[in-house]
Structures are given as C-alpha cells and as structure tokens.
Amino acid sequence: MNRKAFTLIELLVVVAIIGILAAIGVNTFSGFQEKAKVSATKANHKAVCKWTHVELIKCDLDSSETIFNGQMNCSTIISNLNSQDQGTANDMAKELEKGLKDKFKNPYGEYRNSSTNDYKSDNAVTRAGWGQDRDLGYTIIESKMQSGNAILNIHTCNKLPCSGDPWNNTNDNIEICSIEKQP
C-alpha cells in the first residue's frame, strides 16, 4: 500500500504534543514576566534613591544650585532647615515628585479600581499611599522633620503583599532607603 498522508492518530498525537508544549511555555513565560516586573521595580527604586542622594549632595557643594530637575533651589532648602521650618521635608518630597514625573513607569501599569473610583497613573514616583496592595510597583516618598533635619523615606513594594510600617519595615517585599538632609 502506497501511503501519502498522515493518519488521524498521527495528527492527534502531534496536536496533543503541541498543546502540552504551549501550556508549559505559557506558565514559564508568566513566571519570567513576574520576575522581570520585580526586577524593574527594584531598579526604579534604586535609581530614585541614588538620584535623590546625588541631587542633595549638589546642595552641599553649591548652595546656589537648583535640584530635582529645576524644581527647588538649594538655598531655599538650607534657609528653611536653618530656620527649623517644619514643612521643609514635605516641600522637598513634593518637589522631588514633580522633578521625577514621567521619568519612571510602574512595571505593573496603572492602578484602577472602578468600584471605588480609585486611580493611580503609571508614573512610578508618588507621595500617595502606603501599606495597600494598590501600591504595588510605585516608589513612594514619605517625609518628616527630625531634630532639625529633613528625612525622605523612599520605599517601593515589588510584590504582594504591600503592608508594613514605612519607617520600620519588616516586609521583604518592600525596598526602603532613607535620605537625611542636614542644614
């Protein structure tokens, strides 16, 4: 018998093999995608911390310098810290957020909850939020004054759950750096 075509059984075996390989591939790809988002979130956090630290060092070197992408004058920061202005850290956090607007994107995308009308854009740097799962991927800037020094606490949740204390964190899913500016 001269055979020129595949039998139905042979075709079904090939389709089954392709299906099994596709299922394995989708699961593996999903895991790689999640790890990439965590890595990107950690990289964003590290870059924001380093950039903020370098910007504040500029003030130590030259008080006439303008920092945070032109958002704030070093002389203003130094003057406010010397006068014990309690709003200095908050002003620095606001201007830092403005200076980093559209520079970093949240790897997890924007947050939108239609049932509560809650929305956060995909700009990764913000001053809003802490301890909520909606903070996933966002780099959040907290501020406070302590002993006349401005302290910026920069924290990022890189995977769920996103809960803990922003000043004394014990959650391994959250990266934190504190930057202190003295007068």
Q: Quick check: pTM over 0.85?
A: no
**φ and ψ at residue 140, rounded to 5 degrees:** -110, 135
| Rg of the chain (C-alpha set) | 24
* Nearest C-alpha neighbor of 65 from the set 55, 74, 77: 74
Give the residue ranges of DSSP H helices in the chain.
Answer: 8-61, 74-82, 88-99
Asked if residues 64 and 75 have their Cβ atoms less than 8 Å apart, the reply is: yes
- What's the pLDDT at 31? 80
Asked if residues 138 and 131 have their Cβ atoms less than 8 Å apart, the reply is: no
The model's pLDDT over 115-159, given as tens digits with 9 standing for 90+, comes to: 777 777 888 898 877 678 888 999 999 999 999 999 999 999 998
Task: Decide if pLDDT at 1 tops 70.
Answer: no
